[in-house]
Homo-oligomer: A and B are copies of this chain.
């Protein structure tokens, strides 16, 4: 099988068709309609095998996130909060960064989440009496993308971190998946930050602890599959079914696939028809979970009252 672009550790692992990969631990925890999978890359060997940094990658998978079913949305938000919380220092300012381009619908997830995060850092004495002493300081920013700002996203985040001096960064991004049925149906949380080349917008530089000096937790949801991935996948499947994987045709097939895929499909994205509504709904779930993770002393009801 040829490599296919995915931002999900879960898919990277699956595509290896191996029961066991050295340096990679996998644990699957079903919970009602939601399946939680933890992939731990614990050695350099595992990192090489999955082509991503050492660390923990937790995914929440669901058959159907699209429907705004309140009970499921609340369940997902709470599970998300439970995954995020232990990855962050227990106290101190947190900066939420909404990555992506708000004018490209499937890439607007990050900015929309940042818009809905409960921002408290500036409140100071303006905090209502009933909340005093119970709010963690949170700030939020959507730095835009290179083509819109002329500035590397990673550099801009670094300059804001230098200024705000948070104890941790929580970055939210729209991802590319390999399987179309993952779109808007999987949430990945990782303590490794954002890798270079990942995301719908293809971040040129990473946003990581190494670069920022503080822990970076990344929350991502696949919103697109590249058309080239779908075509490549279909072709691989056909080749497999026709038993053409005999080495003889290999080179010709590779050339053919590259021709079909690269020349015609370029940057084309595959999205569901309902992507506008799905981004909106998923942003609400993520913002709910992030707010719950960052403000553990507030009841869910209080949080909902405070969110706009």
A161 vs chain B, min Cβ distance (A): 9
Check B264 against A305 for contact (C-beta < 8 Å).
no
Chain A residues within 8 Å of chain B by Cβ, number: 77
Check A104 against B234 for contact (C-beta < 8 Å).
no
Check A270 against B272 for contact (C-beta < 8 Å).
no
Residues on the B chain within 8 Å of A152, using CB: 122
Check A308 against B277 for contact (C-beta < 8 Å).
yes
Residue of B nearest to A238 (CB): B235
- The yes or no answer to A158 lying at the interface (CB within 8 A) is yes
In the complex, the count of this chain's copies comes to 4
Q: Kindly specify which of A43-51, A76-84, A133-141, A190-198 makes contact with the partner chain.
A: A133-141
Check B163 against A150 for contact (C-beta < 8 Å).
no
- The yes or no answer to A1 lying at the interface (CB within 8 A) is no
- The yes or no answer to A297 lying at the interface (CB within 8 A) is no
The digit string for A252-279, where 1 denotes a CB below 8 A from any CB of B, is 0100110011001101111111111100
- The yes or no answer to A37 lying at the interface (CB within 8 A) is no
Q: Give A154 to B130 CA distance when docked, in angstroms.
A: 30
Residue of B nearest to A272 (CB): B268
Check A159 against B163 for contact (C-beta < 8 Å).
yes
A7 vs chain B, min Cβ distance (A): 16
Check A150 against B121 for contact (C-beta < 8 Å).
yes
Residue of B nearest to A204 (CB): B122
Residue of B nearest to A305 (CB): B69
The digit string for A119-156, where 1 denotes a CB below 8 A from any CB of B, is 11110000000000000011111111011111110011
Other A-B pairs beyond A68-B308, A268-B271, 5, CB < 8 Å: A69-B304, A107-B273, A237-B256, A238-B238, A269-B271
5 closest residue pairs by CB, A with B: A121-B150, A139-B150, A159-B163, A119-B150, A231-B234
The 22 listed contacts between A and B (C-beta, < 8 Å) are: A68-B305, A69-B305, A71-B301, A103-B277, A105-B105, A105-B275, A105-B276, A121-B150, A122-B150, A137-B150, A139-B151, A141-B151, A151-B160, A156-B163, A159-B160, A200-B273, A230-B231, A234-B234, A234-B235, A235-B235, A238-B238, A238-B253
